[in-house]
Amino acid sequence: MGKLVVLTLFLLSLAFPMELKRVSENIYMAKGGYGLPSKENRGFISNAYGVLTKEGWVVIDTLSTPELAREFISELKKIKDSPILYVIATHYHMDHWFGIAPYKEEGAKFIAHRNLKEFYEDGSADMVLEGAKKAFGVFDEVKLLPPDVVVDSRVKLRVGGNTFEIIPMTPAHTNTDLVIRFGDTLFVGDLVSYKRIPFLGDRNVSTRAWLEVLDQISKFRFKVLLGGHGDPMGVEAIRWTREYISFLRERVREMKDEGLFIDEIREKLKDTPYKGLPMYEEFHLRNVYSLFNELDMEL
């Protein structure tokens, strides 16, 4: 790596530093910013979590790139120089999986939904990675790796006297969504947002099932929700996510029933009560388009 590139990465790390926040006695969080991946933000657009057990660390989500993952691992080991034992991906999107390689180098076992492994094995993951490299410019060093352990039903992982309950919640945001319950904490990936527009545009999304998943999550006993983006959340975030998805489903369905075409619907829904929130410009109209097609398939 040339000196100029090294200097550039160093300056960017100063502009978008990674600082760990202690969420509870044993849980630490790296909070990413808002936006799409870019060289300016280093792809640091999502959260990752480290849970410290007596035997070592369990990581929830990998961050977007190997560079960010190494930085996160380094920060965790400043807190306690213990091994990284497991890393669990809440779903297969780039900001939750693409940083996997350094964890494997640390000897961690990678846990993900069975559909993530299939996505890797059928070549779809490589196609997505190539597209991401061209679109965003921060994924050149990414090396995708498949899970060591796949999950397609509820299982318990016991580490250092602690229990992690891994619960598939598919289909919803994707067909690879996992919720992890650790004591009174729920790691919910991108299934729950609060005042940040969720992405409804995955090719495997089911917003109808997503609403049912939100109902299931609300029935768990928990004190805090830790999501893929933003700050720790409470039950109000479940309501907020449900309201946005329901609002958009109802409005798109009404306009389809009136005979409007997608371009007309997008124009009418450019301005909504949610305008101005993070990721509105990036996701909202894509969500409208995705729902237009999804509702066709529900007929």
Which letter, b or e, does each residue of 24-43 get, where b requires 16 or more Cβ atoms within 10 Å of its Cβ?
bebbbbbbbeeeebeeebbb
Least confident of 4-18, 22-36, 163-177: 4-18
CA distance linking residue 194 with residue 213, whole number of Å: 16
In contact, 210 and 245? CB cutoff 8 Å = yes
Asked if the model's pLDDT at residue 49 lies above 70, the reply is yes
Asked whether residue 226 carries a pLDDT value surpassing 90, the answer given is yes
**In the predicted model, what is the mean pLDDT of residues 216-243?**
98
Does residue 216 form part of some domain? no
| 281 assigned to some structural domain | no
Residue 50, domain extent: 3-168
Is 13's pLDDT higher than 60? no
Please state the pTM of the whole predicted model. Answer: 0.94
In this prediction, residues 120-125 reach a mean pLDDT of 97
Torsion angle in degrees (nearest 10) through CA of 275, 281, 283, 289: 90
For the domain that residue 72 is a member of, what is the CATH number?
Answer: 3.60.15.10
3-class DSSP assignment, residue 206: coil
* Backbone phi and psi for residue 30, each to the nearest 5 degrees, phi listed first: -105, 115
How far apart are alpha carbons 138 and 140 in whole angstroms?
6
**What token pair was written down for 178?**
């996992």
pLDDT of residue 16: 66
Cβ burial of 50 (10 Å; 0-12, 13-18, 19+) is buried
Element (H, E) at 132: helix 124-136
Asked if the structure places residue 189 within a domain, the reply is no
Q: Is 24 helix (H, G, I), strand (E, B) or coil?
A: coil
Q: What share of the chain in percent tops pLDDT 90?
A: 93
Joined together, the tokens standing for residue 79 give: 């807190």
Distance CA 135, CA 129 (A): 10
What's the pLDDT tens digit per position in 262-282? 999 999 999 999 999 999 999
Distances (CA, A) of 118 to 112, 122, 128, 146, 147: 11, 6, 14, 9, 10
104: in domain: yes
- The overall average pLDDT reported for the chain is 94
Strand partners, 50: 28, 59
Task: Count the Cβ atoms, other than its own, within 10 Å of residue 237.
Answer: 22
Q: Per the structure, how many domains does the chain have? A: 1
Give a yes or no: residue 268 inside a domain.
no
Q: What is the mean pLDDT of residues 46-73?
A: 98
The stretch 236-245 carries a mean pLDDT of 98
Apex CA 282: angle with CA 189 and CA 175, to 5°?
35
Q: What is the pLDDT of residue 5?
A: 41
Query: Is residue 99 in a domain?
Result: yes
Tell whether 196 is covered by a domain: no
Token digits of residue 235: 């039950």
- Count of all residues that appear for the chain in the document: 299
Nearby residues of 5 by Cβ (< 8 Å), 6 or more positions away: none
261 is a domain residue: no
Model pLDDT, residue 299 = 65
In eight-state DSSP terms, residue 174 is S
Q: Has residue 4 got a pLDDT over 80?
A: no
pLDDT bin (cut points 50, 70, 90) of residue 6 is very low
Across the range 81-107, mean pLDDT stands at 98
